[in-house]
Amino acid sequence: MEKENVSFRNYLGITFLIGFGFLTMGLMDPLYDTYIPIFLKRYIQSNAAVGGIMTVDNVLQLLLIPIISIWSDRTRTKIGRRMPFIIVMLPISAVIFIFIPSVARISLLALISIIFVFNIFKTSVRGPVVALMPDTVPPSFRSEANGVINMMGGIGLIISTLALARLMDEEERLPFFVAGLCIIIAVTVLFIFVKERVPSGKKEEKTAVLKAVKQAFSTGGSSVPRILISLFFWFMAYEGVKPFLGLYLTESLGVSEGSAALAQGVAGISSVIMAVPAGYLAHRFGRRNYICMNLIMLAAILFLIPLGGLVVNMAGIPSSAALVLFLILMFLYGAVWMGVVVNSFPMLWQMASFGTIGVYTGLYYTFSQGAAILAPPITGAIIDFFDYKGIFIFGGLCMVAALFTMRKVRAGEVTRSA
């Protein structure tokens, strides 16, 4: 039980340091999501095919993240149970990431091959990076802590999209090189300053995997499966739209490749602004209630994007106005999305023990990456048949479905004894 005089301020410093692991993801993911489809389109015309290839990382995440997360649960070394994976896999990911643009110039087969190898290493480290925070921060403060580390990830996204992506107009290899170098520096900081600690009295706690999964689905009644189904739907929306934002900007709104990451950039800015407040607001209003409010707003924003574009076209307003309107909506989207992301993981971790953090992390990624595998080919086909505006309608409907199941969740809130 936490002492009454203990507050989140006691864990703020360590949380910021752990956030360097999330900053690395924020650096890599936007460049990957924005420019890999553009590289692929040099060889492939079908958007559905591009979407299919973009699910390579999601397939690997579905397979590897649960396995590696559970493996790290059961790892015991002098530097901790998560750190061995982090200090090996992240630097290798950074080096491979640097070479992606060069390899993309060789052939489609070479590009697909390096995408596959890169995602093996990046995927293997994601679970341990995510699980490092709940290992260190008590359950009552994990929404606030998740807000801080998501803010760090958002800072990485802003750097990636609004600074590094601009270098694409000069030399397309440069942003990947700078991002890779920054990742190596961030891993060094993480390793030097973050020392894993095992909570008192829980040093040797280990739970059989199948038993832990069975317990997860029986904890809090049916709350765990309902949370997992909800996050499946909201990730169907998020992952279905995200890979095509760069193509939407370049092909529909006429921006340059160097500006193709603008949508993710403005969403990243609002995410950083709202990341920490989202944790505190959920603590005040309840995690489930706050997530549901944000799901309603996300659905509304996604429905407004094609509607706003239609109004602009019918009114004969210049295309620059359509771009400004879209970026405003994406700014709002990033802020509201953060309210969902910051609080969904802590709801699951609230029902886990020290020995099963990795299991719950693995379940989260099993459902989220299952959605990420299905969504891009579906939205790619929607674009081929109905134009880009169809993917935003699809996303809005998925958010409504997520809201329907999330409203029935009854566990995962902060408790005084947590």
Average pLDDT over every residue of 369-392: 88
Long-range contacts of 313-321 (CB under 8 A, 24+ apart): 319/253, 319/254
If one compares 68 and 7, the residue with the highest pLDDT of the two is 68
Which residue from 180, 195, 194, 36 is spatially nearest to 121, judged by alpha carbons?
180
- The one-letter code for the residue type at 160 is S
CA distances from 357 to 127, 384, 392 (A): 10, 41, 34
pTM of the model: 0.77
pLDDT of 345 higher than 90: no
Work out the average pLDDT over 31-60. Answer: 83
For residue 358, the 8-state DSSP code is: H
CA distance 39 to 100: 10
Name the band, by pLDDT with cuts 50, 70 and 90, for residue 318.
Answer: low
How far is residue 237's CA from residue 396's CA, in Å, rounded to a whole number? 7
Question: What domains lie within the chain, and their CATH numbers?
Answer: 9-197+208-406 (1.20.1250.20)
| Distance, CA of 164 to CA of 326 (rounded, Å) | 22
pLDDT score, position 298: 97
Q: Which of 12-16, 85-89, 371-375, 411-415 has the lowest mean pLDDT?
A: 411-415
Give me the pLDDT at residue 407, please.
93
At 152, the pLDDT band (50, 70, 90 cuts) reads: confident
Rounded CA separation 116/277 (Å): 37
Q: Are 340 and 295 in contact (CB under 8 A)?
A: yes
pLDDT score, position 177: 93
pLDDT range class, residue 418, cuts 50, 70, 90: very low
Reported confidence tier of residue 357, pLDDT bands at 50, 70, 90: confident
Percent of the chain past pLDDT 90, that is, above it, reads: 30
Say which residue, 20 or 335, is predicted with more confidence: 335
Q: Please, where are the H alpha helices in 42-107?
A: 47-53, 56-73, 83-104
- Using 50, 70 and 90 to split pLDDT, how confident is the model at 1? very low
Residue 316: which region, alpha, beta or left (left: phi > 0; alpha: psi -120 to 50)?
Answer: left
Q: In the numeric block, which tokens belong to residue 167?
A: 């270098």
Of 91, 37, 93, 82, residue with least CA distance to 60: 93
Phi and psi for 278 in degrees, rounded to 5?
-60, -35
Q: Look up residue 368 and give its two tokens.
A: 């989220």
Collapsing DSSP states into helix, strand and coil, what is residue 407?
coil
Count CA atoms within 13 Å of residue 313 on its CB side.
9
Tell me what pLDDT residue 417 has. Answer: 44
CA atoms within 13 A on the CB side of 55: 24
Q: Work out the angle at residue 89's Cα, subtended by the Cα atoms of residues 95 and 233, and round it to the nearest 5 degrees.
A: 105
- Quote the percentage of the chain above a pLDDT of 70: 90
pLDDT in tens, 85-108: 999 999 999 999 999 999 999 999
d(CA 107, CA 25): 26
Res 371 pLDDT > 70: yes
C-alpha distances (whole Å) from 203 to each of 58, 133, 206, 353 are 33, 17, 9, 12
Is the Cβ–Cβ distance between 121 and 92 less than 8 Å? yes
Computed over every residue of the chain, the mean pLDDT equals 84
pLDDT tens per residue across span 69-86: 888 888 888 888 889 999
Place of tokens 């674009």: 383
Position 260 pLDDT exceeds 60: yes
pLDDT tens-digit readout, 165-198: 888 878 888 999 999 998 899 889 888 888 876 5
Confidence of residue 304 (pLDDT cuts 50, 70, 90): very high
